[in-house]
Structure 1
Amino acid sequence: MRLTVLLFAIAVALPAQAQSDRHKADAYAQGREIIADIDKIVTPDGIQETFTATLGGAPQVINVRGADRDNPLLLFIHGGPGSVEMPIAWSFQRPWEDYFAVVQWDQRGAGRSYRLIDPEKLAPTLSVDRYRDDAIALIELLRRKYGKRKVVLVGHSWGSAIGLAVAAKRPDLISAYVGIGQLIDVRENERLGFAWTLARAKADDNQEAVAELEGIRPYPGPGALDVKKLQIERKWSIRYGALAAYREDAAFYFNAAALSPEYAPADIEAIDDGSELAFRALFPQLVDLSFLGLTRVDVPVFLFLGRHDHTCDSALAARWLGKLDSPEKKIVWFEHSAHLPMLEQPGRVLTALVDDVRPLATP
């Protein structure tokens, strides 16, 4: 089976037989054609384009879609590390495009960007600061290309760490920041997630889960994170709905890439390679990643938090926002979502973007 990483969520996606069928006969081609036709931007002032830009010395793929090019720009920063959301965007983004020109960006070495540069040369460049600076360079490029002064910045999961770092460093470029599944502190996040998962397993009298979880104590423990321990924790936290509420997995999310009009089969296969590259390079760095010391951000900050999110603990993010000093701040709770509210409650995400965020957007 294909495994994909979403902020350390080791998630099962397409089964092996489906991959084989796709590779041999591209069984999803007709579906992609239908979705491409449905999603085609046909309005006279619309925009629909994909291009490659060199950011920080690395070529990266950018996709821009919107019904009216005069609408505000919204840059969506995907999760992972390495879990691109350009190929999944067709499943939730189209309504956003009536109100924003939406930018999807395959970060360095991820998705369609993976095959544009030698991954071994790229690996030493992968750091939180490099991704942050790539995002800043992309925003500057988008401003010039589309004649905008600022962008709405949306970060999901791992992308919320990049997005928040950008908002803190360059608030002059951003009209509002939205964190979906906001990451605040990796070590504390792991501690809280483990405690929740173990409690759920005990309440469920799941002896197998309890034994495996007890067996990885202390978790996360001092020092670097242990990958094997992480995989065990995620195995059971995902099973209990920490990634997708009321579901035992998030296959519905990851499998959506197979029908993407933006991705050929070879691009889909590159997703795993990019995830592995980013995970291998970044994993040792991330255990000490924390925004607990960030107490002021000079842009409006919105957190879209799933009530059931224990992949990036939503309660931890809410406590952080409560102490943050910013021009405006708000939590939008998604009572029936975990870490993927864009797909779990897409209508509520749309209305929050339109009602709360768009009025602050700078053209």
Structure 2
Amino acid sequence: MTRCLAFVLSLACWLAAGPSHAQSAPADDAARARAVVEDLMRIPGPDGVQETWRQRINGLDHWISMRGQDRANPAILFVHGGPATPTIPSLWQFQRPLEEYFTMVNYDQRGAGKTWREDHSDAIADTVRIQTYVEDLVAIAEHVRARLGKRKLVLMAHSWGTIPAMHAAQARPDLFHAYVGIGQVINVRENERISIEYGLAEATRRGDADAVREIQALLPYPGTTPLTRERIVAARKWPQQYGGMAAYRDATNLWFYGAARLSPDYDAEDRAALNAGSLFTLERVLDEFVEVDFSGVREFPIPVVMFMGRHDYTTPSQPTADWLDAVQAPFKRGVWFERSAHMAPWEEPGKTLVSLLEVVRPLVRE
């Protein structure tokens, strides 16, 4: 993978600077590539906002990014997945068009990325619980609302981030115009069951005997055996290999996992923190995570919109569609992304923008 990434970086710089640059050192190539991305992402207009700052939130310094072409636009607070997979180092891949119509706010959560670097002491480790992430999110929403002079924000979350976001929307509906879930978690155990069933069916269809044997060795899954990190990784191996993370792609997904190498917002130490933060958080929150179940929530206090990848077998979309059919809310809408799996904003950025404008923007009442 390292050799492939070096090739991609060299190719990106060759295309940007011309063939004469192709012989430059790899480090220079990476720096030049980041400079190209940085210039592309620059917001020069007088009404725009482009800020990244450290803010004390709920006893911990969090890193926050705010970007948009016009401060007067509605603001979206985006809660990243993982745990500890920040969006800031990959937002350059999909977010720029959204910034023309919304002020986009991202933050590195407790134990993730730049925030992990600020503090990953034992004291912080003891606070890595779902309720703490909910409290962090509410405090950040209040801080961003005051900073922008907004009455409310749109709350949007991806994957793991949908868990604290759902709780925050229920606890503090006064802060949010609407909730947008992407790769929504409804019931973790049901997700795991659907995912491995897809993996086995697809392996059988393809005649992949090795995959069939590996999957059958894990059954019954999730069953009554505790869901450890090792079991989850093993169970998701083949569903993701068959496109359950990004549609029609295998599990390598170099385009996403290598995004931080081109991000102007992340330096080498920040990039190193990505894996460290993942290990730091997952082992501490896993027991709570596997018991998450929103299927009993039958009333939701604010408008709710779900962006659902048709091919998502990481957090399968059918439980989300079923929940949406049953829930009572001031407004509800499901949007199917037919060419996406789990990574809809990255896989279908155009549809993400159009859906936000057509479905979510009318829900904003300033």
Give the TM interval when normalised to the shorter protein.
over 0.9
Q: CA RMSD in A?
A: 1.9
For 2:158 and 2:28, how far apart are their aligned partners in 1?
Answer: 30
Counterpart check, 1:308 vs 2:289: no
SS in 1 for 2:195: helix
The alpha carbon displacement at 1:257 in A equals: 1.6
- Structure 1 stretches of 4+ with a deviation exceeding 4 A read 14-19, 21-24
| Residue 211 (structure 1) aligns with | 213
One-letter code of the match for 2:236? R
Structure 2: 5+ residue stretches without partners: 11-24
| Residue 71 (structure 1) aligns with | 73
CA offsets, 1:64-102, max 9 Å, x none? 000001111100100000011111001000001011110
| Residue 334 (structure 1) aligns with | 337
SS in 1 for 2:258: helix
SS in 1 for 2:218: coil
Contact 2:6/2:26 (<8 A) preserved: no
The alpha-carbon distance between structure 1 residues 17 and 99, as it changes in their structure 2 partners (threshold 3 A), is closer
CA offsets, 1:277-298, max 9 Å, x none? 1111111221111101111111
The sequence identity of aligned pairs, in percent, is: 41
Q: Tell me: higher relative CO, structure 1 or 2? Use CA pairs within 8 A at least 6 residues apart.
A: 1
| Residue 350 (structure 2) aligns with | 347
Name the structure with the higher helix share. Answer: 2
| Residue 103 (structure 1) aligns with | 105
SS in 1 for 2:298: coil
Contact 2:195/2:314 (<8 A) preserved: yes
Alignment of 1:44-83 (within 5 A): 44-83=46-85
* 2:120 corresponds to which of 108, 118, 121: 118
How many pairs align? 350
Contact 2:5/2:258 (<8 A) preserved: no
For 1:229 and 1:167, how far apart are their aligned partners in 2?
Answer: 31
| Bigger radius of gyration among the two | 2
SS in 2 for 1:236: helix
More displaced stretch, 306-315 vs 27-36: 27-36
One-letter code of the match for 2:123? K
Contact 2:79/2:157 (<8 A) preserved: yes
The alpha-carbon distance between structure 1 residues 60 and 212, as it changes in their structure 2 partners (threshold 3 A), is same
The alpha carbon displacement at 1:32 in A equals: 0.9
Alignment of 1:1-363 (within 5 A): 18=6, 25=27, 27-249=29-251, 250-363=253-366
| Residue 14 (structure 2) aligns with | none
One-letter code of the match for 1:319? D
The alpha carbon displacement at 1:17 in A equals: 7.6
For 2:3 and 2:326, how far apart are their aligned partners in 1?
Answer: 44
Give the TM-score taking structure 1 as reference length.
Answer: 0.93
For 1:157 and 1:241, how far apart are their aligned partners in 2?
Answer: 16
Give the TM-score taking structure 2 as reference length.
Answer: 0.92
More displaced stretch, 318-327 vs 27-36: 27-36
The alpha carbon displacement at 1:216 in A equals: 1.0
One-letter code of the match for 1:215? A
For 2:6 and 2:128, how far apart are their aligned partners in 1?
Answer: 32
